[in-house]
Structures are given as structure tokens and as C-alpha cells.
Chain A
Amino acid sequence: MQDARATYTEIGQSLGMAHSTVHERVKRMELNGIIKKYTTVIDTEKLGAKNITAITTVFTDPKTSEEVAQKLAQASQVLEVYTSLSEELLIIAKITAENQEQLHTFIANKVAPLPGVMRIRTSIVTRKYKETSPSLASQSKRLHL
């Protein structure tokens, strides 16, 4: 769902359901915590904010990766945190900062000293082409909503 303000009728039309069915299912999903919240996505660039975003990969000792991921998740500068098992165990974090200097200070002072962190790779996002969440409409049949 791309628009949290869409009416039950509009959602029903796009899914081929009655609005009462949509209403009932949305309420059930809210109750069960499937719908966690309704939020606003703000284009900060249009507001004049010049924040930068970086994708940081943290290579860790597997024994401490859980703690490192938890610590990263607690930091306000960190927007998203994931772990991934490719050849090595990685933690991938999306970080925001006012500028490159603040980004570096955060990584050098708060990430590098965490026990178990072996090395860090960072890519600063220069242009965003798409940012969205998975659409429920395409998965609703499989998910038994």
C-alpha cells in the first residue's frame, strides 16, 4: 500500500473486495500488530535539509555480531540495520548524518570501537532512484490477510 490515507473503498476497488471486508481485515491486522503504524514519508531535500545517507557494511566477529547489530539499532543516526550471511557475516546499516564529517565521527567514535568490529566499508549515497516498502497488494493472496 503506497498511500496510508487511502479509504477502505479505494483499497477495496484496487483489490476487488467490498469496503466492509477491507475494514474488517485492516482492523484485524492492526490488532495483531501486522500493521505496525501509519507514518509520513517526508522528502527532506524539498524541505532544504542537506543530510547525507550512507550504506555501511560492518564486518564482525560472528560471536559479537548480535551485540554490534543491537548497538547500531539503538543509535539515532542509524535508520536501518540488517545482518547478512554471504561469505562472511556482515551487518549492513543505513546511516544518516548532516555531513561527511559527522558521518565519519559517528563511525570512528561509535562503530569502530564496538567489540568484535573487524573493518568497515561505507558508501555515501549520491542519488536516490527509488525508496519504497514492499506492496501488500501483490502478496495479499499468499499472506492470507
Chain B
Amino acid sequence: MVTTDLLKTVSRDKAFYFFLSIGNSTGQSASSLKEFMDKLNEVNAKSLDFHLHRGDFEKWVSDVLQDQELAQELRRLQKSSPTGETLRTQLSATVSKRLKRLSGQASATRP
């Protein structure tokens, strides 16, 4: 997978939609890893708990963004079961680190 593909923006039907519980959406969504990072800092912490517990973050990153490396890191995070603001901090750090690495690689390969 080429780095720029991992930073792609996906269509509305493939975006990640944040929910608080079964069938209760927050109205927030992310169509790219960058937008996902931004939303992690905005959404209700309960939504982060809900999705981490279900493995939704890992599934979206793996199936839609096709970033297996980040999916693996998210799986590791899920196993340690952080909750609330601790989860937000750890999730944010994980995604931010990956985003910086991918952005750095993308600019290095740009002619």
C-alpha cells in the first residue's frame, strides 16, 4: 500500500460514524485519518469506549483505510482496555504518531 493511499479521503458511505451506543449516533463522522484524528479530540468519551470495546476503530482502519499497521496498534490498545479520557489520550497519541509518520513519508516521496 502506497503511503498517500493510506491518507486518502473516503466516500460518505465508507466514513466512520461515531455512536454512543447501539443506534445512537453523535452526528460526527470522519472520512480520512486526518479527520479521524481531529474527531478523536472532540467526540464524547463514551463514544470512544463504545467503539474500542467493539473493535470498530480497528475494523475501519483495516477494512476501509487499509492501514494494517495502525489496525494492529489499535488491537493492542483494545487489549489493554483503557476507558474515558485515558482512552482518548492513548488513542490520540497512537493515531497522531501514525499520521505524522505517514505525512513525513508522503512529503519525502513527493518530487
A108-B17, A113-B17 are contacts. A56–B26 as well, Cβ < 8 Å? Answer: no
Smallest CB separation, A111 vs chain B (Å): 8
- Neighbouring B residues of A109 by C-beta, 8 Å: 13
Q: Does B29 contact A (CB under 8 A)?
A: yes
Q: Are A124 and B22 neighbours in the complex by a CB distance under 8 Å?
A: yes
Please measure, in the bound complex, the distance between the C-alpha atom of A95 and the C-alpha atom of B45, giving whole angstroms: 28
Proximity string of chain B (16-41) to chain A, C-beta cutoff 8 Å, 1 when within and 0 when not? 01010011111101000000000000
Smallest CB separation, A105 vs chain B (Å): 10
Q: Does B12 contact A (CB under 8 A)?
A: yes
Q: Are B26 and A107 neighbours in the complex by a CB distance under 8 Å?
A: no
Proximity string of chain A (100-119) to chain B, C-beta cutoff 8 Å, 1 when within and 0 when not? 10011001110011010111
Q: Does B15 contact A (CB under 8 A)?
A: yes
B22: which of A59, A103, A115 is its contact (CB, 8 Å)? Answer: A103
Q: Does A26 contact B (CB under 8 A)?
A: no
A112-B17, A113-B15, A115-B12 are contacts. A103–B23 as well, Cβ < 8 Å? Answer: yes
A104: which of B13, B23, B29 is its contact (CB, 8 Å)? Answer: B23
Q: Are A112 and B25 neighbours in the complex by a CB distance under 8 Å?
A: yes
A119: which of B13, B22, B27 is its contact (CB, 8 Å)? Answer: B27
A118-B27, A119-B25, A120-B25 are contacts. A104–B19 as well, Cβ < 8 Å? Answer: yes
- Neighbouring B residues of A54 by C-beta, 8 Å: 23
- Can you spell out 24 A-B residue pairs with CB atoms less than 8 angstroms apart? A54-B23, A56-B23, A59-B27, A100-B22, A103-B23, A104-B23, A107-B23, A107-B25, A108-B17, A108-B25, A112-B29, A113-B12, A113-B13, A113-B15, A113-B17, A115-B12, A119-B25, A119-B26, A119-B27, A120-B25, A121-B23, A121-B24, A122-B22, A122-B24
Extra pairs beyond A103-B23, A107-B23, A120-B23 (18, CB < 8 Å): A54-B23, A56-B23, A103-B22, A107-B25, A108-B17, A108-B25, A112-B25, A113-B12, A113-B17, A115-B12, A117-B25, A119-B25, A119-B27, A120-B25, A121-B24, A122-B22, A122-B23, A124-B22
